[in-house]
């Protein structure tokens, strides 16, 4: 009789476990409180000690059974098991007060029952392992994006999202940290930095890894300021013996969720923090950017630009304007730069409105090839018409440098338009990394061999490097307008010294020097004094539509105003 009941209990137990793994707790209670002789022990406590993991996962304690009424609180039976996940499960079994202690047979049965419990536990641990891997980043020991998305959606669905701030962080120049300290220490530094953010988080605040050195944080707005301070820069010890530290700074895009813009899903939150972090990354002054209406509009505009690109290329909505380059010595046209304009819905858009957006990815390359192709078509036509054609320079974004076949692509475009190479010049801006430098060097050398000129655009903006002009066989150096005093402004003596030496170095290295953005007579005089003879700027001409530029091609004489 007793044996049968026990077997029944075990059978129920196992079957129920398999069918309903999520409701183990309630079934355990039902089974074990069923009146039968075995339950002479009445109430069993399975104290369920789990590592922090269990709390983190918000897992309800599944194996709880009633505590015994033993006044002394002694337990007579205990089984512990350390699981593979590193957590410990302890079952303690108590006799009912006043009952005799169990006999040997009962103990054996109890053991069996507890073994069965361990089987459950194995199952639930497996589920937990599965859960852990689904929702965690094992390298950093924090949640992953999937968990983050789920949490945001839960907060939205329970109307609890307002009052939070979401943050997208990207560790600044982390590849340089890896290079400097080695990958292994780099990972340790990242883990420590993220660990200290994690330590700052309060109840119901979260950090998750997006991937690489990108993370997302969800904090209550009252704790945002502290978090932002931390992200602006924090020293991380990377060598415990010497105590040596490295400063880690994060670019951060913050979205304060105040309800002013509706939030219907995690995608709204992710889109907004992504936009904000992009603004933070591209800002030269701030590492933190806050999402606002203005940013939202810019983002919508960016999406319109990107989605409109393919159609615009096909419908030839992009126009080439040509800005003349003039030689000061004889006031003649010596070249021109092809600059892009987008005629869209009856409005002419300047490059500043769409080039930086297209430069975020390889989209810019499609436009640059289009511009090169259309410039070649114009040159071909002008040659056919017997015009005095000058060299036309076309801008190439640095994004192209990842194109392994760039040189062939360029030459193909020029050759299929039957344009002699001497009429083409390509303008590229400076590079910052060694890898880019080598790629750039190979490209410029290849173009040189093909008889195609190249120029360093905007020299002097950003981090100009003399190595760049010394080691790469450029033809032209375009001195940025920031070297020139603005009209009506005092001369900055240091700038003037730099202008003088930049022009001198360029000439000594055999480069032609072109001054960009020249607007005033004073600037012209200054450039003349410093032997910079070729001028591109409003002083002579703005970028001109094709028909107007064509009037400059046949011996047009500029005048000094
Ligand atoms: P950039 O290559 O340095 O082109 C020179 C810019 O300076 C042009 O602006 C030109 O209109 C402007 N500029 C010329 N003279 C003066 C002047 O006297 N004063 C002032 N304040 N500005 C002057 P734009 O046409 O707006 O182009 C801006 C930038 O957009 C270009 O700078 C270039 O980096 C980029 N861009 C334009 N077209 C293309 C293109 O087809 N492909 C790529 N990748 N970039 C392009
Ligand atoms: Mg240019
Ligand atoms: Mg320029």
Structural contact between residues 291 and 327, judged by C-beta atoms closer than 8 angstroms: no
Ligand whose nearest atom lies closest to the CA of 351: 1
Residues in the chain: 561
Q: In this model, does residue 162 exceed pLDDT 70?
A: yes
Considering the chain, what is the average pLDDT of its residues?
A: 82
- State residue 553 phi and psi, 5-degree precision: -80, -20
Domain residue extents for the chain:
4-136, 139-291, 323-335+369-553
Please tell me the class of the 4-136 domain. alpha beta
Residue 64: the pLDDT is 30
Minimal-distance CA residue to ligand 1 atom 7:
517
Structure tokens, 37: 């002789």
Q: In this model, does residue 365 exceed pLDDT 70?
A: yes
| Ligand 3 centroid to residue 460 C-alpha, Å | 10
DSSP notation for 148-212: HHHHHHHHHHTT--BTEEEEEEEETTHHHHHHHH-HHHHHHHHHHHHHHHHHH--TT-EEEEEET
520 lines ligand 1 (CB under 6 A): no
What gap in Å lies between CA 111 and CA 78, rounded to an integer? 9
Structural contact between residues 232 and 164, judged by C-beta atoms closer than 8 angstroms: no
pLDDT band at 122, cuts 50/70/90?
Answer: low
543 lines ligand 1 (CB under 6 A): yes
The residue with greater pLDDT, 489 or 253, is 253
pLDDT band at 16, cuts 50/70/90?
Answer: very low
pLDDT band at 317, cuts 50/70/90?
Answer: very high
Residue 71: the pLDDT is 41
Angle (deg, nearest 10), helices 145-157 and 266-282 = 120
Ligand 1 atom nearest residue 350's Cα: 26
What gap in Å lies between CA 263 and CA 531, rounded to an integer? 60
| Ligand 1 centroid to residue 336 C-alpha, Å | 12
Residue 124: the pLDDT is 65
What gap in Å lies between CA 497 and CA 444, rounded to an integer? 29
What gap in Å lies between CA 554 and CA 389, rounded to an integer? 8
Alpha helices in 315-433 (DSSP H): 351-358, 363-384, 406-416
CATH topology match: 4-136 vs 323-335+369-553: no
Residue 357: the pLDDT is 92
Lowest mean pLDDT among 54-63, 261-270, 325-334: 54-63
Residue 362: the pLDDT is 92
Rounded mean pLDDT, 335-363:
94
Rounded mean pLDDT, 531-560:
95
- The string of pLDDT tens digits covering residues 407-460 is 999 999 999 999 999 999 999 987 777 778 889 999 999 999 999 999 999 998
Architecture of domain 139-291: 2-Layer Sandwich (3.30)
Structural contact between residues 440 and 401, judged by C-beta atoms closer than 8 angstroms: yes
Q: Is the pTM of this model over 0.85?
A: no
Whole-angstrom CA distances from 84 to 50, 88, 123, 138 are: 12, 9, 12, 15
| Ligand 2 centroid to residue 99 C-alpha, Å | 94
Contacts of 270 (CB under 8 A, 6+ apart): 149, 168, 216
CATH of 323-335+369-553 given 3.40.50.450, 3.40.50.300, 3.20.20.450, 2.40.50.140: 3.20.20.450
Rounded mean pLDDT, 126-135:
75
| Ligand 2 centroid to residue 415 C-alpha, Å | 22
What gap in Å lies between CA 56 and CA 60, rounded to an integer? 11
| Ligand 3 centroid to residue 251 C-alpha, Å | 28
477 lines ligand 1 (CB under 6 A): no
Q: In this model, does residue 53 exceed pLDDT 80?
A: no
Angle (deg, nearest 10), helices 363-384 and 351-358 = 130
């Amino acid at each position: 009789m007793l044996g049968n009941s026990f077997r029944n209990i075990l059978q129920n137990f196992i079957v129920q476990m398999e069918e309903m793994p999520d409701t183990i707790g309630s079934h355990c209670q039902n089974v074990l409180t069923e009146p039968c002789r075995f339950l002479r022990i009445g109430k069993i406590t399975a104290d369920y000690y789990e590592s922090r993991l269990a709390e983190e996962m918000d897992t309800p304690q599944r194996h709880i059974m009633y505590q015994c009424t033993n006044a002394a609180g002694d337990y007579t039976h205990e089984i512990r098991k350390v699981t593979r996940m590193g957590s410990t499960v302890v079952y303690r079994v108590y006799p009912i007060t006043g009952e005799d202690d169990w006999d040997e047979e009962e103990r054996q049965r109890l053991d069996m029952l507890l073994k069965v419990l361990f089987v459950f536990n194995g199952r639930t641990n497996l589920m937990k392992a599965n859960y852990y891997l689904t929702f965690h980043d094992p390298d950093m020991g924090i949640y992953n994006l999937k968990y983050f998305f789920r949490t945001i959606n839960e907060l939205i669905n329970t109307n609890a999202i307002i009052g939070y701030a979401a943050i997208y962080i990207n560790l600044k120049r982390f590849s340089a940290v890896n290079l400097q300290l080695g990958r292994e220490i780099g990972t340790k530094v990242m883990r420590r930095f993220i660990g200290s953010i994690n330590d700052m988080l309060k109840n119901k605040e979260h950090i998750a890894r997006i991937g690489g050195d990108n993370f997302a944080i969800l904090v209550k707005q009252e704790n945002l300021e502290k978090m932002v301070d931390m992200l602006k820069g924090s020293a991380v010890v990377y060598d415990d013996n010497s105590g040596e530290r490295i400063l880690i700074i994060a670019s951060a895009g913050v979205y304060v969720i105040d309800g002013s813009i509706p939030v219907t899903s995690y995608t709204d939150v992710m889109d907004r923090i992504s936009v904000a972090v992009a603004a933070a990354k591209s800002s030269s002054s701030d590492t933190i950017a806050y999402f606002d209406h203005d940013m939202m509009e810019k983002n919508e505009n960016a999406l319109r630009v990107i989605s409109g690109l393919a159609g615009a290329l096909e419908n030839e909505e992009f126009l080439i304007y040509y800005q003349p380059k003039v030689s000061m010595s004889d006031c003649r046209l010596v070249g021109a730069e092809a600059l892009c304009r987008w005629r869209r819905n009856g409005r002419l858009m300047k490059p500043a409105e769409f080039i930086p957006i297209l430069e975020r990815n390889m989209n810019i390359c499609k436009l640059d090839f289009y511009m090169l192709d259309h410039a070649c078509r114009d040159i071909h036509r002008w040659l056919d018409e017997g015009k005095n054609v000058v060299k036309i320079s076309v801008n190439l974004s640095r994004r192209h440098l990842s194109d392994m076949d760039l040189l062939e692509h360029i030459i193909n475009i020029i050759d299929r338009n039957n344009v002699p190479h001497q009429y083409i010049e390509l303008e590229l801006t400076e590079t910052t990394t060694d890898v880019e430098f080598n790629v750039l060097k190979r490209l410029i050398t290849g173009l040189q061999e093909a008889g195609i000129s190249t120029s360093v655009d905007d020299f002097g903006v950003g981090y100009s490097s003399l190595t760049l002009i010394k080691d790469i066989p450029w033809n032209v150096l375009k001195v940025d307008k920031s070297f020139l005093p603005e009209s009506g402004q005092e001369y900055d003596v240091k700038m003037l010294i730099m202008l003088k030496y930049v022009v001198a170095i360029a000439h000594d290295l055999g480069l032609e020097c072109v001054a960009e953005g020249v607007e005033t007579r004073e600037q012209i005089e200054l450039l003349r004094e410093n032997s910079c003879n070729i001028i591109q700027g409003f002083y002579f001409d703005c970028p001109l539509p094709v028909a107007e530029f064509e009037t400059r091609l046949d011996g047009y004489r500029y005048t000094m105003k």
